[in-house]
Structure 1
Amino acid sequence: MFPHYRMVGYCGLPGAAALGRLGTGDPGERVAEIEKKARAYAGDREPLPALELLATVVNPGPGPDGAYRTRTAGDTIQRFHELAREHEALLLLNIQPGRSSALDEVKALREWLVHPDVGIALDPEWDMGEGEKPGDTYGKTAGPELNGVSRYLSELVEKHDLPQKPFVFHQVAVSVVPEQEKLRAEPGVALIKSADGIGSPGMKRDTWHKLVKDMPDGLHTGFKLFYEEDAEGGSRLMEPEEVLKLRPKPEYVMYE
């Protein structure tokens, strides 16, 4: 994937506008917006649009299995997979594990992950431990757990002769990915550390520098922007040329 492409996408879920722009309005119009933004970020690379669909959504309540999460219906995933294929885009299936495990939720998506244009994104702050409730505290996914997901994806890539598969983890704070030094790149998997966090351009740059400091070898970088929250309090959304001045230069840019 990298350095041939620069990936740019929206995240979201239909019917849940608060979860991101991908879930608002006409999906085809959203993809057209993504394609335009991807061209603005491409530079000397090929633009690669991405649709980051929430496939496992954290819940405030435990639900029938006590996992504090809901899985998106297969027909919704199918619809967005078809849309991604129509536009030669990638479909990233985003996971907010709740009290389930990240790996279990990834395995539940196997029927989609055997396709060459489907990858995984993970929100570690919603990976809750025993006794923790979503919204009360940040969860966390440790480096060895992320490695387990990478190994599983690597095995799928090898078994099904797939192209390199993206695995994004959105990191809002250093604490949500403990044991980062143990992260390892796996064959056939592009492991992308995406700097999450809301704020002004200055605040987002500060978060970026904290999160990319001492990053293990073999990882790629991503950057997340928020249409509404980043512009609150008289602030503004960062422009593509500002994002591309970050070092290392982000290889995935995602808008929520």
Structure 2
Amino acid sequence: MSYFRTASRLTAPVFASLGLALSLTMLPGCGARQEGETATATADTTTQKPVIVDTVALKRQAMRRDSLKADSIVRKSGQLPGAILPGHRIVAFYGNIRSKGMGILGREPKEQMLAKFRKVQKEWQDADPSLPIQPALHSVTITAQAAAGKDGKYRLMNSKATIEETIQWAKDNNCIVFLDVQVGLSNLEHELHKLEPYLKDPIVHMGIDPEFAMETKGVRPGKKIGTYDAKDVNYAINFLARIVSENKLPPKVLTVHRFTQGMITNYQNIKLDPRVQVVMHMDGWGNPTLKKDSYKAYVEKQPVQYTGFKLFYEYDARPAPHHIMTPKEVLAELNPKPLYIQYQ
């Protein structure tokens, strides 16, 4: 069962293979000339071929070594140090602090929004006291656009000031941050490196949204529902894993939005890495029956690692008598119980 969201969400380092040549040249041999010897002695010179250092291969070897080390730790302890899941339930408010139309994060004045957020956290903690709540701000940071922009890619990145302010809000309120990516007609390979400086912060994590990944569709965002293949998710996992290794960070969490069959293809080929915790996030809106059916079809039946579930303040309760599912309902009626909860 699939369904569309409204278009209201639309708003108006890859390393090159370096040939590092180290030229090692032998100097001519030196010797004293004997008396009477002609001055026609020749110096025997040999030149060694340049040594090419494949930096890409070296980085791959380092990634493999770090991955094996992480696997070893996980086998012994169950998880890497600092891992958020499965020992916590993440509860997130979604949107953009500069936009009232993208979600609860920016819809209400800051202090009013934070007061509501604290209330929601308490409701989830009361519903399941066995897991501590990890609050999160999930910010749409690279946003799909209705206009093509100068390069025709239909996406726009938040300003440095907006990203840094969002991260500061999180730090002031004991939250983690998710930087969410909607690539438009671009792709992850060309967009994710823009976020690397922020992802070096241990509290910053990432989300990717196939709904607005239109490169294979060839149309602007909002005309069709986009898609990612397993290879795209694997690219994001490897990107985050490298940042974790290079900066000696705890594992990152990657949320992958999904509410239709076609949004993720070949899910069984997604390759997990202990340095990245993958959440397949049921992101659709509608009445409780529709949401539960979608969770079962696209998350429960096609599992990857951890699961998420989204609740919409504006759309889940329409039309009456439909309602926004309560924490107790979500936990009682979904299997597996989601460890990531998002409110838009």
Same fold? TM cut 0.5? yes
Contact (CA 8 Å) 2:282, 2:310: kept in 1 or not?
A: yes
Query: 38, 41, 44: which one pairs with 2:124?
Result: 41
The aligned counterpart of 2:166 is: 80
SS class of match (2:250) = coil
Query: 141, 144, 150: which one pairs with 2:237?
Result: 150
Q: Comparing 1-10 with 32-41, which one deviates more in the overlay? A: 32-41
**Deviation of 1:216 (Å):** 4.2
Distance 1:28 1:161, change over 3 A: farther
The whole-number CA distance in structure 2 between the counterparts of 1:73 and 1:126 is: 20
The aligned counterpart of 2:285 is: 198
The whole-number CA distance in structure 2 between the counterparts of 1:204 and 1:188 is: 30
Is 1:167 aligned to 2:250, yes or no? no
**Deviation of 1:161 (Å):** 0.8
SS class of match (1:202) = helix
1:158-200 Cα shifts (integer Å, max 9, x gaps) = 1111111110011021111111111121121110000011111
Query: 261, 273, 276: which one pairs with 1:189?
Result: 276
Matching residue's letter, 1:212:
V
The aligned counterpart of 2:225 is: 138
The aligned counterpart of 2:331 is: 244
Query: 164, 176, 181: which one pairs with 2:263?
Result: 176
Contact (CA 8 Å) 2:96, 2:106: kept in 1 or not?
A: yes
Q: TM-score, normalised by structure 1?
A: 0.95
Matching residue's letter, 1:248:
P
The whole-number CA distance in structure 2 between the counterparts of 1:208 and 1:81 is: 30
The whole-number CA distance in structure 2 between the counterparts of 1:103 and 1:164 is: 21
**Deviation of 1:134 (Å):** 1.0
Q: TM-score, normalised by structure 2?
A: 0.72
Distance 1:106 1:28, change over 3 A: farther
The aligned counterpart of 1:53 is: 139
1:200-215 aligned within 5 A: 200-215=287-302
**Deviation of 1:32 (Å):** 3.4
The whole-number CA distance in structure 2 between the counterparts of 1:163 and 1:36 is: 28
Matching residue's letter, 2:96:
L
Q: Comparing 56-65 with 123-132, which one deviates more in the overlay? A: 123-132
SS class of match (1:19) = coil
**Deviation of 1:38 (Å):** 2.2
Contact (CA 8 Å) 1:41, 1:244: kept in 2 or not?
A: no
The whole-number CA distance in structure 1 between the counterparts of 2:139 and 2:189 is: 17
Matching residue's letter, 1:99:
L
The whole-number CA distance in structure 2 between the counterparts of 1:28 and 1:108 is: 30
The whole-number CA distance in structure 1 between the counterparts of 2:139 and 2:277 is: 18
Contact (CA 8 Å) 2:237, 2:272: kept in 1 or not?
A: yes
Contact (CA 8 Å) 1:51, 1:84: kept in 2 or not?
A: yes
Contact (CA 8 Å) 2:91, 2:341: kept in 1 or not?
A: yes
**Deviation of 1:35 (Å):** 3.0
SS class of match (1:94) = strand
Contact (CA 8 Å) 2:95, 2:105: kept in 1 or not?
A: yes
The whole-number CA distance in structure 2 between the counterparts of 1:126 and 1:223 is: 19
Contact (CA 8 Å) 2:187, 2:215: kept in 1 or not?
A: no
Q: What is the number of residues matched between the two proteins?
A: 255
Query: 138, 157, 162: which one pairs with 1:71?
Result: 157
The whole-number CA distance in structure 2 between the counterparts of 1:166 and 1:151 is: 12
Displaced runs of 4 or more, over 6 A: none
Larger radius of gyration: 2
Structure 2: which 5+ runs fail to align? 1-83
RMSD, matched Cα: 1.3
% identity of equivalent residues: 29
Query: 5, 8, 11: which one pairs with 2:94?
Result: 11
Structure 1: which 5+ runs fail to align? none
Contact (CA 8 Å) 2:214, 2:226: kept in 1 or not?
A: yes
The whole-number CA distance in structure 2 between the counterparts of 1:26 and 1:136 is: 32
The whole-number CA distance in structure 2 between the counterparts of 1:88 and 1:201 is: 31
Contact (CA 8 Å) 2:101, 2:107: kept in 1 or not?
A: no
The aligned counterpart of 1:27 is: 110
SS class of match (2:202) = coil
The aligned counterpart of 1:255 is: 343
The whole-number CA distance in structure 1 between the counterparts of 2:303 and 2:283 is: 18
